[in-house]
Amino acid sequence: MIHLASLSPGTRTSLPELAAAIEVPDQFLSKVLQMLCRRRFIHSHRGVSGGFELAVDPETISVLEVIETIEGPIQLNICLGPGLGCNRKLRCPAHLVWAEAQEALQAVLRRASIAKLARTSTQVN
């Protein structure tokens, strides 16, 4: 998402080009791109001029949304998931620390926009 956001608006890139640019295997990236397409963060185009491009303004996409699209909800510990998960959850002295840590992580990732990271990326490269 960061690489796509660093390209000029409307620019399409192929799977092999994108995989090479971000240094990940094509097969892994293909699965990630499918999830991002389903979430409508990116568009996939077939044909000679095909490829992948952003479907939404990268200013409106947080790192948290991308992570949760690919990995599911962030859960630092089993006690923070839905349901009981851990039978000690209600009496565990560490539970509140885990909950606070998860909330802090989510807040940081929610504030980080893909566009901001793309701007930083182009300054570094």
Domains, the chain, with CATH or none: 2-124 (1.10.10.10)
With beta carbons less than 8 A apart as the criterion, state whether 47 and 53 touch: no
Q: How far apart are CA 26 and CA 70, in angstroms?
A: 16
Residues comprising the chain, all counted: 125
Provide the pLDDT confidence category of residue 28 given band limits of 50, 70 and 90: very high
Mean pLDDT throughout 73-95?
85
pTM of the predicted structure, to 2 decimals = 0.86
Q: Which residue has the tokens 């080009």?
A: 17
Of 28, 104, 114, 22, nearest in space to 65 by CA: 114
What pLDDT was estimated at residue 29?
96
With beta carbons less than 8 A apart as the criterion, state whether 115 and 63 touch: no
What pLDDT was estimated at residue 122?
63
Contacts of 77 (CB under 8 A, 6+ apart): 86, 98, 102
Higher pLDDT, 125 or 109: 109
Q: How far apart are CA 38 and CA 103, in angstroms?
A: 26
**Given CA atoms 43, 46, 50, 51 in this order, what sign does their dihedral have?**
positive
Mean pLDDT throughout 107-124?
88
Mean pLDDT throughout 93-112?
95
Mean pLDDT throughout 6-26?
94
